[in-house]
Amino acid sequence: MPKNAGRAAIVRRAGTPIASVRVSTISWGAEAIDVTDRDSSGIVEVLAAVATQQITLSVEGVYSSPVLRDIAFDVAASKLLTDITFQFGDALAAKDTIAGNFFFASYEESNPHDAETTFTAEFTSSGAWTHA
């Protein structure tokens, strides 16, 4: 597997980068369907099917645009963001992306007196996503 630079990863909304991201993390999680019963002799049994699954995108960056701040702090704004795409660092060659609707779950901003303003944000998938 070829190595690639993490800085090439991009998070976009409707095709436009949503922030100056310098660190991004993507994680996938699933829950099993537990079918353990008295006949299982005390050993957990699960189905091969997945009960629920989700993707979480976490990003960190240097504040350069009010887009995320405005969504986070606007009480009336929907936190369900449509048309979000995560483009992996090697996507320039492989076109490797995850796309779908994501719930904007958290936003944090840091304003140190002697450095740049930074932020962190987290997005959780809502519904099915595509991997291309």
Question: Each residue of 48-58: pLDDT tens digit?
Answer: 999 999 999 99
Confidence class for position 121, pLDDT limits 50, 70, 90: very high
CA dist., res. 129 & res. 86, Å (int): 11
**pTM for this entry:** 0.81
Which residues is 61 bridged to in the sheet? Answer: 21, 119
Residue 56, class by beta-carbon neighbours within 10 Å (0-12 exposed, 13-18 middle, 19+ buried)?
Answer: middle
Q: Token pair for residue 112? A: 């140190």
Contact between 121 and 106 (Cβ < 8 Å): yes
CA dist., res. 39 & res. 36, Å (int): 8
Q: pLDDT: is 24 or 126 the higher one?
A: 126
Q: pLDDT: is 125 or 61 the higher one?
A: 125
Q: Which residues contact 57 (CB under 8 A, 6 or more apart)?
A: 11, 24, 25, 26, 84, 86, 102, 122, 123
Whether residue 45 is predicted with pLDDT greater than 90 in this model: the reply is: yes
pLDDT at 2: 61
